[in-house]
Amino acid sequence: MSRVDALITAYARFAHNPWDRNASGPERVWLAVYPPPEERRLRYKLEEFKIATQDAGKRWKLVDITTAFEQWLGNHEYRDAYFECPEDLEPALEGFGEQLVARVREELTAEDVDGETVVALLGGGTLFGLYRVSRLIERVNDDIRGRLLVFFPGERHGSNYRLLDAQDGWSYLAVPIVAVEE
Q: What would the pLDDT profile of 127-180 be if each residue is shown by its tens digit?
A: 988 898 989 999 999 999 999 999 999 888 777 777 776 655 555 667 878 886
User: How far, in whole angstroms, is CA 57 from its chain's centroid?
Assistant: 22
177 within 8 A of 151, measured Cβ to Cβ: no
For residue 64, tell me if it sits in a domain.
yes
Q: Tell me the C-alpha distance between 35 and 48, whole Å.
A: 18
Alpha-carbon distance of 136 to 170, in angstroms, equals 13
CB atoms closer than 10 angstroms to residue 167:
5
Residue 19 forms part of a structural domain: no
Looking at the domain assignment, is residue 94 inside a domain?
Answer: yes
pLDDT digits (tens, 9 = 90+) for 85-109: 888 888 888 999 999 999 999 999 9
Boundaries of domain holding 49: 3-14+25-178
Cα 11 to Cα 48, 161, 177, 182: the distances in Å are: 10, 18, 6, 14
85 lies in a domain? yes
Tell me the helix, strand and coil percentages in the chain, rounded to 5: 50, 20, 30
Q: State how many domains the chain has.
A: 1
- Say what the pLDDT of residue 182 is: 43
| 20 part of a folded domain | no
Does any domain span residue 33? yes
Residue 67: inside a domain: yes
Q: How far is CA 137 from CA 8, 21, 51, 102, in A?
A: 22, 19, 24, 12
Residue 44 lies in a domain: yes
